[in-house]
Amino acid sequence: MDIIGGGTAGCPLAATLSKNFNVLLLERGGVPFTNPNVSFLDNFHITLADTSPTSASQFFMSTDGVYNARARVLGGGSAINAGFYTRASSRFIQKMGWDAELVNKSYPWVEKQIVHRPTFSHWQRALRDGLLDAGVSPFNGFTYEHKYGTKLGGTIFDRFGRRHTAAELLASGNPNKLTVLIYATVQKIVFYTTGKRPKAMGVIFKDENGKQHKAILGNDRQNEVIVSSGAIGTPQMLLLSGIGPKAELEKLKIPVVLDNRFVGKGMVDNPMNTIFVPLKKPVKQSLIETVGITNRGVYIEASSGFGQSSDSIHCHHGMLSAEIGQLSTIPPKQRSEEAIKAFMKNKKDIPIEAFKGGFILTKVANPWSTGDLRLVNTNVDDNPAVTFNYFSHPADLQRCVEGIQLVTKVVQSQHFTNLTMCVKQTTEQFLNNTVNANVNLIPKHVNDTKSLEQFCRDTVITIWHYHGGCHVGKVVDSDHKVLGVNRLRVIDGSTFTESPGTNPQATVHGNEDFKR
């Protein structure tokens, strides 16, 4: 078995498959264990802000103008995310056609190894109490289950603030049958094309020195190439390998193996908007621990403070920082690579004062707005062009407005004013604090903060739950085998039509265990 991508999906998949098969896991990034930016909760923001070529987080910007990130490290998204762990909703499992009993047996395999109970800071308590006051009830306590109301979920950060990633799940594999290569960037999948159907024969990859290698499958019929490169990497890999819309492939002179117009289509990202809440004194850093889940598909979460350990690796800061900056006012046609690089160069140190407070986040779950992914060239190291079309569907915009209204109620509650020791601010004051922050490259309408619809459009960011591009029934069948091709399978979030529950990592981990 050749598995492309040692991330949230690829690591548990490789571990379970190695019980019965010889497995080669190919990961383009390095290991998370020696990188303090990855390993500690304190450095969460720093990893995401690192735009250097060796970063565990590969910066990309969607054509919408929203900053985003792809994992480039063993462990994948679990090595760079905010750590929140929660299971999928029963509705999602039913929609995917999965065996619910088997799914629920698979989750504990992950939870026993890498999931912990959060410390539950004052900021998270204020969110819990504010949500309950605002009517997001009942309180469901600490649970991994997806339940309407307010709850406390799991985290992959232990009580010492150390991150536990999908890479640790590899320890469950059979060491005699599992080989893991890091800094192994797959260039493309290669095929036998002489039969009735193309058949995957292996992959071509390059090592850290740029030298090319081939990994060829054995003749056993059960041998496969499995692509687990995520919602950006997987459709990109299929396209680079000649599976996708014929006209697009021919334009880039990629030999067509299979014409499939659906590869890269149906890309979705859950839009997120935040309200910045200032404090008069520093607050303990916390990431996502508490969540409010409404039956309208609006989720409310929160983070607070800013940390940086003494051994952190300093880097450029260009993403999701709370600094005040107005690159967003540069018209779209003038947002050149040079302009972006110059902007990031001027942001060498994040002022700690900017993080003397916290953020309340509102996310629109299961958005109707969809986009697509297209290649811009044939270099696998470069990002493809990705469009999410945030809020293009009116129902998504309406739910964002409801989310902002709900966040305002929470922040104006007595629980938050007691914590912040600040005078209760009006909705407009909260919006003004946020709309002036540099959160994306979308031109701002700073004189129109009374319009919640405009605020949603202006300040949309990502919560990194993007998915799609290789949907079941269009690119893969119900067993995740690529349609029209033999010995090729896709197992990751690119097959999802929606994000499972509050956070996808639990389901992506567990999915790979029970799919086999």
For 233-243, give one letter per residue: b (16+ CB within 10 A) or e.
Answer: bbbbbbbbbbb
- Joined together, the tokens standing for residue 48 give 């995401």
493 is in an annotated binding site: yes
Mark whether 465 is an active-site residue.
yes
285 is in an annotated binding site: no
6 is in an annotated binding site: no
Mapping DSSP onto H, E and C, the string for 169-214 reads HHHHCCCCCEEEECCCEEEEEEEECCCCCCEEEEEEEECCCCCEEE
User: What is the residue type of 231?
Assistant: A
Neighbours of 334 (CB within 10 A): 7
> How far is 485 from 499, CA to CA, in rounded Å?
27
**Which residues are CB-contacts of 342 (< 8 A; sequence separation ≥ 6)?**
none
Catalytic residue (choose from 45, 465, 471, 480): 465
Q: β-strand 57-61 against 139-142: which pairing, if any? A: unpaired
DSSP string, 382-407: SPPEEE--TT-SHHHHHHHHHHHHHH
> How far is 211 from 270, CA to CA, in rounded Å?
38
Q: What are phi and psi of 302, to 5 degrees?
A: -160, 155
User: What is the residue type of 283?
Assistant: V
- Joined together, the tokens standing for residue 54 give 């060796």
Q: Is 35 helix (H, G, I), strand (E, B) or coil?
A: coil
- Joined together, the tokens standing for residue 180 give 């893991």
> How far is 320 from 68, CA to CA, in rounded Å?
9
Q: Is 305 helix (H, G, I), strand (E, B) or coil?
A: coil
32 is in an annotated binding site: no
Which residues on adjacent β-strands are paired with residue 180? 25
27 is in an annotated binding site: yes
Q: Is 280 helix (H, G, I), strand (E, B) or coil?
A: coil
505 is in an annotated binding site: yes
Helices (H), 305-446: 337-345, 394-411, 414-420, 427-435
The answer to whether 224 and 201 are in contact (CB under 8 A) is no
Q: Which residues are catalytic?
A: 465
- Binding site for FAD: what residues are annotated? 27-28, 73, 186, 464-465, 493, 504-505
- Binding site: what residues are annotated? 27-28, 73, 186, 464-465, 493, 504-505
